[in-house]
Amino acid sequence: MVESVTGVVARYDQIADFYEQRSGKTVSDPATAAVLDLAGDVGGLRLLEVACGQGRVARELARRGATLTALDISPALLAKARIYETAEPLGICYLRADVTTSGVLTGQVFDGVVCNYGLSDIDDLDGLLANVARFLNPDGWFVFSLLHPCFPGWDSDAPSSWPPDQGYYQEGWWLASNTGYRCRVGSSHRMISTYLNSLVRHGLVLDRVAEPPPSPEMEQRRPPGAAPVPFYFAARCLRR
């Protein structure tokens, strides 16, 4: 069953087993590795991971010495995260919430907020960024990664960031028509300028940016003759 909080549907409930198998426990894929690098030394910090899924990044940050709160809208993925927490207690506080609502985590402040591969799954970007800015203490940072908004697509399991029949300039939520998981959970496409202007509007200033290339395994799937293209985008922002 697909549940909803405040009208936002937990789309990942229907693919929770598949998603966990696919992204697994590891944090070595290029975008996640970039997020951990951009977060830097997290020892002693109070951190929030939003759209945490099954908690693989929250666990790694906690192992590196941070105190973690982690939230997601999907009860099925949170159930998996809690099983990991029971097997390896790291003191992570998991919450089910829609991160875009104005009342979420009222009064709580963090040294950093992390969102790994979550932005294109979150329908209300302004709602998210308004809350990220509210969650951060004055020296706080926001680190995120996502499939690069300019990725043009390679194959049925790695579709373009945008609806292929409409192109890069067509923003909004869309459902892929191929066999990959984006044909089940969809994706919100936004141009890179929309992301950057939204960060500015919410007082989140770019500090560092990364565009990690795909892994060697993924690189092998680049169609013959196709040029290397932007694949991942990750950034660290500071509160202005």
Ligand X SMILES: C[S@@+](CC[C@H](N)C(=O)[O-])C[C@H]1O[C@@H](n2cnc3c(N)ncnc32)[C@H](O)[C@@H]1O
132 touches ligand X by CB under 6 A: no
Choose which of 42, 84, 92, 98 interacts with ligand X (CB under 6 A): 98
CA pair distance 188, 8, nearest whole angstrom = 13
Collapse the DSSP code of 143 into the 3-class scheme (helix H, G, I; strand E, B; otherwise coil) and give the result.
Answer: strand
- Burial of residue 98, with CB atoms counted within 10 A of its CB: 0-12 exposed, 13-18 middle, 19 or more buried: buried
Task: Give one DSSP letter per residue of 35-93, joined into a string.
Answer: HHHHH---TT-EEEEES-TT-HHHHHHHHTT-EEEEEES-HHHHHHHHHHHHHS----E
Do 52 and 125 form a contact (C-beta atoms < 8 A)? no
Residue 53 or 112: the one with the smaller Cβ distance to ligand X is: 53
**Minimum distance, C-beta of residue 205 to ligand X, in the bound complex (Å):** 23
181 touches ligand X by CB under 6 A: no
Residue 125 or 204: the one with the smaller Cβ distance to ligand X is: 125
CA pair distance 33, 57, nearest whole angstrom = 10
**Minimum distance, C-beta of residue 225 to ligand X, in the bound complex (Å):** 30
143 touches ligand X by CB under 6 A: no
CA pair distance 31, 87, nearest whole angstrom = 26
Choose which of 60, 85, 111, 121 interacts with ligand X (CB under 6 A): 121
| Binding piece for ligand X, criterion CB under 6 A, among 70-78, 133-141, 192-200, 211-219 | 70-78
60 touches ligand X by CB under 6 A: no
Q: Spell out the residues 6+ positions from residue 87 whose beta carbon is closer than 8 angstroms to its own.
A: none
Choose which of 84, 117, 144, 174 interacts with ligand X (CB under 6 A): 117
20 touches ligand X by CB under 6 A: no
Residues that bind ligand X (CB under 6 A): 8, 10, 12, 23, 51-53, 56-57, 72-74, 77, 98-100, 116-118, 121-122
